[in-house]
Structure 1
Amino acid sequence: MGRILNLETATTNCSVCVSDGDKVLSLKENNAVNYSHSEQLHIFIKEAVEEASLSFSDLDAIAVSKGPGSYTGLRIGVSSAKGLSFSLDLPLISVPTLESMAHQVKALEGEIIIPVLDARRMEVYSAVFNGDYEEIRETRAEVIDESSFGEYSSRTKVHIVGSGAQKCSEILAHSNFYFDKGIVPSAREMAKIAFAKYQAKIFEDVAYFEPFYLKDFVLQGKKKD
Structure 2
Amino acid sequence: MATILHIETATKNCSVSIAEKGELLAIQELNDGNYSHAEKLHPFIQQVIQEAKLSFNDIDAVAVSKGPGSYTGLRIGVSAAKGLCFAFDKPLISIETLQSLAHKINIKEGVIVPMLDARRMEVYAAVYNANYEQIREIKAEIIDKNSFQEFLSKEKVYFLGDGAEKCKGIITHENAVFIDGEFPSAKEMGQLSFNKYKKNDIEDVAYFEPFYLKNFVVTPEKKR
Instruction: Show the counterpart of 1:116.
Output: 115
Q: How many residues align?
A: 224
Tell me the distance in 2 between the aligned counterparts of 1:10 and 1:32: 14
Tell me the distance in 1 between the aligned counterparts of 2:204 and 2:180: 34
After TM superposition, the score normalised by the length of structure 1 is 0.97
Is the 1:153–1:177 Cα contact (8 Å) retained in structure 2?
Answer: yes
Tell me the distance in 2 between the aligned counterparts of 1:16 and 1:160: 24
- Structure 1: which 5+ residue stretches go unaligned? none
Instruction: Show the counterpart of 1:157.
Output: 156
Correspondence 1:35 to 2:35? yes
Q: CA deviation at 1:224?
A: 4.5
Secondary structure class of the residue paired with 2:195: helix
Tell me the distance in 2 between the aligned counterparts of 1:108 and 1:155: 15
The superposition leaves residues 150-173 of structure 1 with CA deviations (integer Å, 9 ceiling, x where unpaired) of 000134311010101111111011
Instruction: State the one-letter code of the partner of 1:10.
Output: A
| Identity percentage of aligned residues | 57
Instruction: Show the counterpart of 2:208.
Output: 209
Tell me the distance in 2 between the aligned counterparts of 1:156 and 1:76: 38
Tell me the distance in 1 between the aligned counterparts of 2:52 and 2:211: 29
Instruction: Show the counterpart of 2:181.
Output: 182
After TM superposition, the score normalised by the length of structure 2 is 0.98
- Structure 2: which 5+ residue stretches go unaligned? none
Q: CA deviation at 1:53?
A: 1.0
Is the 1:154–1:176 Cα contact (8 Å) retained in structure 2?
Answer: yes
Correspondence 1:134 to 2:126? no
- Structure 1 residue ranges, 4+ long, deviating more than 6 angstroms after superposition: none
Instruction: Show the counterpart of 2:98.
Output: 98
Quick check: 171-180 or 90-99, which moved more? Answer: 171-180
Q: How does 1:55-66 map to 2 (within 5 A)?
A: 55-66=55-66
Correspondence 1:197 to 2:196? yes
Secondary structure class of the residue paired with 1:19: strand
Q: CA deviation at 1:218?
A: 1.1
The superposition leaves residues 176-195 of structure 1 with CA deviations (integer Å, 9 ceiling, x where unpaired) of 00112411000000001000
Is the 1:164–1:181 Cα contact (8 Å) retained in structure 2?
Answer: no
Tell me the distance in 2 between the aligned counterparts of 1:73 and 1:164: 16
Tell me the distance in 2 between the aligned counterparts of 1:4 and 1:133: 22
Secondary structure class of the residue paired with 1:185: coil
Instruction: State the one-letter code of the partner of 1:83.
Output: G
